[in-house]
């Protein structure tokens, strides 16, 4: 176990102060969750603001720190692929494939 310092993901004022805008942080959060779900089929199932910290890396970019790793699930390969296809069809506005 290790002690981790950082700001909570919902502390908008701290994010603005450290990173200029919360959008930089939200982009990093979206990236990490997209990778977990769409590439690895691995999901952190307790993602509330108390379990998501942000800290500044030496290069100034935000680093997402996920806490409380007691509840994960891993999807099967078939579900992961189908879920990817669902989101791809939604983004491409392919309603037939979405059905």
Distance CA 53, CA 43 (A): 17
**Is residue 46 flagged as an active site residue?**
yes
Given the residues 7, 46, 68, 94, the one annotated as active site: 46
- Residue 47 structure tokens: 């993602």
CA dihedral over 72, 77, 80, 84, signed as positive or negative: positive
Q: List, by residue number, the catalytic residues.
A: 46
């Amino acid at each position: 176990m290790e002690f981790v310092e950082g700001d909570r993901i919902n502390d908008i004022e701290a994010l603005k102060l450290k990173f200029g805008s919360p959008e930089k942080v939200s982009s990093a959060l979206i990236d990490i969750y997209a990778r977990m779900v769409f590439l690895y089929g691995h999901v952190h199932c307790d993602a509330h603001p108390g379990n998501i910290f942000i800290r500044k890396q030496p290069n100034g970019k935000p680093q997402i720190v996920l806490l409380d790793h007691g509840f994960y699930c891993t999807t099967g390969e078939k579900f992961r692929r189908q879920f990817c296809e669902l989101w791809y069809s939604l983004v491409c506005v392919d309603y037939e494939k979405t059905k």
